[in-house]
């Protein structure tokens, strides 16, 4: 389970940063920055991937009530311009910039750090080790899921309310049948392939 031992190594306030949505074919990449309170920290914080949607939603509300939060969102068109790596770095930067005050140190899930001026440390598997990163993973994941569920109402054929934009079989079938929406990432191979015109070999033409 995550603990606060990493936070105690650095000057306060320590901020945890994590992202959600690097792999989907549609929708934004979302990052969250979270500074937890010294006391009365929500119980049950963990890597968001290990939690049910109901548990994430409950913890999301508890974190928002007690912590300082910043959120960064980079939309699909900018993901296509920057590529997903740099779009993720930008989302993380926007999240920290959105905090009410600058952090004393930033703990980032992963093995890379954005190009920013804040002192920071990358922790591989940080969402399972540091409570502030676990909290950030919950905020980022729930925020992005909520965005995709809202978009699913306008594009029901892609089943985003269930797959959240990831390339599951039903999503891929709909992509081939209906083509990409403005929410799709056109730089991702399955989406780019869905935009290609069907070419009929010469021998099969009438």
**Residue 127 assigned as binding residue:** no
Does the annotation flag 109 for ligand binding? Answer: yes
The CA-to-CA distance between both ends of the chain, in Å, stands at 65
Is 19 annotated to bind a ligand? Reply is: yes
Between helix 53-66 and helix 131-152 the angle, nearest 10°, is 120
Q: Summarize the annotated binding site as residue ranges.
A: 18-19, 109
Q: Annotated binding site for a divalent metal cation, which residues?
A: 18-19, 109
């Amino acid at each position: 389970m995550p603990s606060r031992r990493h936070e105690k190594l650095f000057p306060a306030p320590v901020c945890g940063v994590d992202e959600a949505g690097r792999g989907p074919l549609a929708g934004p990449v979302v990052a969250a920055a979270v500074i937890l309170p010294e006391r009365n920290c929500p119980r049950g914080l963990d890597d968001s991937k290990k939690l049910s949607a109901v548990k994430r939603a409950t913890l999301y509300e508890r974190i928002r009530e007690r912590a300082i939060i910043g959120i960064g969102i980079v939309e699909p068109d900018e993901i296509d311009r920057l590529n997903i790596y740099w779009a993720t770095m930008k989302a993380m930067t926007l999240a920290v910039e959105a905090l009410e005050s600058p952090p004393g140190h930033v703990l980032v899930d992963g093995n890379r750090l954005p190009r920013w001026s804040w002192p920071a440390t990358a922790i591989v598997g940080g969402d399972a080790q540091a409570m502030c990163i676990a909290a950030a993973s919950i905020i980022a994941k729930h925020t992005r899921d909520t965005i995709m569920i809202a978009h699913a109402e306008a594009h029901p054929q892609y089943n985003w309310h269930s797959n959240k934009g990831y390339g599951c079989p039903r999503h891929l079938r709909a992509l081939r049948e209906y083509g990409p929406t403005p929410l799709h990432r056109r730089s991702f191979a399955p989406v780019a392939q869905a935009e290609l015109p069907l070419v009929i070999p010469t021998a099969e033409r009438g």
